[in-house]
Amino acid sequence: MRVVSLVPSLTEAVAVSLPGVLAGATDWCTHPADLDVPRLGGTKNPRVDEIVALGPDLVVANEEENRAADLSALRAAGVEVLVTEVRDVPQAFRELDRVLRACGTRSRPRWLDDAEAAWASVEPGAPRGSAVAPRRSAVAPIWRRPWMVLGRDTFAGDVLSRLGVDHLYASHADRYPRIPLEELRAAVPDLVVLPDEPYRFTAGDGPEAFPGLPCALVSGRLLTWYGPSLAVAPRELASALRAARPYGSHRA
């Protein structure tokens, strides 16, 4: 098999499970760190002609991350395209299994079993085994200028919910609504969840916009990627969420 991946999560999953199968990936495919394949543009602007020239047996994509027009152009050029849809953790496992089988794996990789086991030990809504696990409310920005947050039917939103955090825009009509900063502040959530991708929130860029509110700086890969990182995401995200604190104390 020769596979081109247009999704960073799937790139890592395929590379770890089937070394040598990947023939190309996007500029944003950062894992594994030593991945040495042709880079073919971004997730939103892949260079279709270069992908076709590689002669892949399969291109793996995602309905949210990739544009329908690019996928249609690949199909029109005779390239087979597998498109995933991931809105929650259980669906992520089903889609990963489907992708890896399509890419030629003959047996289920160990990391996928480990990841499912890690999430099976987490009760939807609260970490299992904790004496007291009250649910907390949150806003979860994914961009600023303009401010955008997690809305309805998102994988990251389901991840947070399973860790006991209800983001306040889960019932919004949009999946990634633009919300004025004043409204986000006025919502007075228990905490603000700030990932380092797609926007790179840091201790000095993000928490200052929410004075007095506890802010959790979390790994975007752990929050939004569905791949090998799922095996450690419950533990490491839970730790980062517990460490939420107001602006200024992040610098200590």
Whether the Cβ atoms of residue 102 and residue 83 lie closer than 8 Å to each other: no
10 and 83 fall within a common domain: yes
188 and 242 fall within a common domain: yes
10 and 76 fall within a common domain: yes
Element (H, E) at 72: helix 68-76
Whether the Cβ atoms of residue 8 and residue 60 lie closer than 8 Å to each other: no
Handedness of CA 214, 220, 223, 228 (dihedral sign): negative
Q: How confident is the model at residue 133 (pLDDT cuts 50, 70, 90)?
A: low
Q: In what order do the strands lie in the sheet with 81-84?
A: 22-24, 3-5, 58-62, 81-84
Q: Which of these three, 73, 108, 143, is where a domain ends?
A: 108
145 and 91 fall within a common domain: no
Q: Which amino acid is at 15?
A: A
Stretch 20-45: mean pLDDT, rounded?
96
Whether the Cβ atoms of residue 222 and residue 233 lie closer than 8 Å to each other: yes
According to the model, what pLDDT value does residue 248 have? 72
Q: Is residue 123 part of a domain?
A: no
Q: Is residue 119 part of a domain?
A: no
Q: How confident is the model at residue 247 (pLDDT cuts 50, 70, 90)?
A: confident
100 and 150 fall within a common domain: no
Q: Is residue 126 part of a domain?
A: no
* Domain housing 186: 133-251
Asked whether residue 182 carries a pLDDT value surpassing 70, the answer given is: yes
Q: Is residue 128 part of a domain?
A: no
Q: Is residue 165 part of a domain?
A: yes
227 and 151 fall within a common domain: yes
User: Is residue 7 packed enough to be buried (19+ CB in 10 Å), middle (13-18) or exposed (0-12)?
Assistant: buried
According to the model, what pLDDT value does residue 122 have? 82
172 and 215 fall within a common domain: yes
Asked whether residue 183 carries a pLDDT value surpassing 70, the answer given is: yes
101 and 142 fall within a common domain: no
152 and 244 fall within a common domain: yes
Residue 225 corresponds to which tokens in the numbers above?
């990627």
96 and 147 fall within a common domain: no
Q: Which of these three, 108, 124, 141, is where a domain ends?
A: 108
Based on the structure, what is the number of domains in the chain? Answer: 2
Distance between CA atoms of residues 250 and 237, nearest Å = 16
Higher pLDDT: 124 or 41? It is 41
According to the model, what pLDDT value does residue 250 have? 54
Percentage of residues in the chain with pLDDT exceeding 70?
94
Q: Is residue 182 part of a domain?
A: yes
11 and 100 fall within a common domain: yes
Residue 221 corresponds to which tokens in the numbers above?
């890969």
Q: How confident is the model at residue 134 (pLDDT cuts 50, 70, 90)?
A: confident
Q: Which of these three, 108, 142, 170, is where a domain ends?
A: 108
151 and 245 fall within a common domain: yes
3-class DSSP assignment, residue 1? coil
Q: Is residue 122 part of a domain?
A: no
CATH number of the domain residue 179 falls in:
3.40.50.1980
CA distances from 14 to 11, 121, 223, 230 (A): 5, 25, 19, 14
Per this entry, what is the length of the chain?
252
Higher pLDDT: 147 or 247? It is 147
Q: Is residue 113 part of a domain?
A: no
